[in-house]
Chain A
Amino acid sequence: MNRIPILQMGTALLVTIQIDMEDQTALALQDDLVEKIAAKGASGVLIDISALEMVDSFIGRMLASISAIASVLDAKTVVVGMRPAVAITLVELGLSLHGVRTALNVARGMAMLQESPEASLRVE
Chain B
Amino acid sequence: MNQGQHSLADILRNDGGELTTRWLAAAGFERSQEAYASFAEEARGLLATLKSATAAGATRFDVDGTAWAGTRAALEALSAARAARGESAGTTSAFVLALKVALFEALPTTTDGPSLMRQVATLTQVVDGMAQWTVTTFQRTREDIISRQQEELLELSTPVIKLWDGVLAVPMIGTLDSNRTQVVMEALLQRIVDTEASLAIIDITGVPTVDTLVAQHLLKTVTAIRLMGADCIISGIRPQIAQTIVHLGIDLQGVRTKATLADALALALRQTGYTVSKAPVGARVAG
Contacts and interface: CB of A to CB of B under 8 A. Distances in A.
A96 interface: yes
B189 interface: yes
B257 interface: no
B228 A91 contact: no
B196 A87 contact: no
A8 B190 CA distance: 31
A7 interface: no
Interface string B191-231: 01100101000000000000000000000100111111111
A51 interface: no
A103 B196 CA distance: 10
Interface string A90-107: 111000110000111100
A101 to B, nearest CB: 8
B228 A105 contact: no
Contacts, number: 63
B227 A104 contact: no
Give the dominant DSSP class at A's interface.
mixed
Contact of A97 (B190, B198, B227): B227
Give the dominant DSSP class at B's interface.
helix
Nearest to A105: B196
Given A104-B192, A104-B196, A105-B196, A87 B254 contact: no
A102 to B, nearest CB: 4
A84 interface: yes
Interface of B: 182, 185-186, 189-190, 192-193, 196, 198, 220, 223-231, 253-254
The 8 closest A-B pairs by CB, nearest first: A84-B189, A124-B254, A102-B229, A103-B229, A87-B227, A104-B229, A87-B224, A96-B223
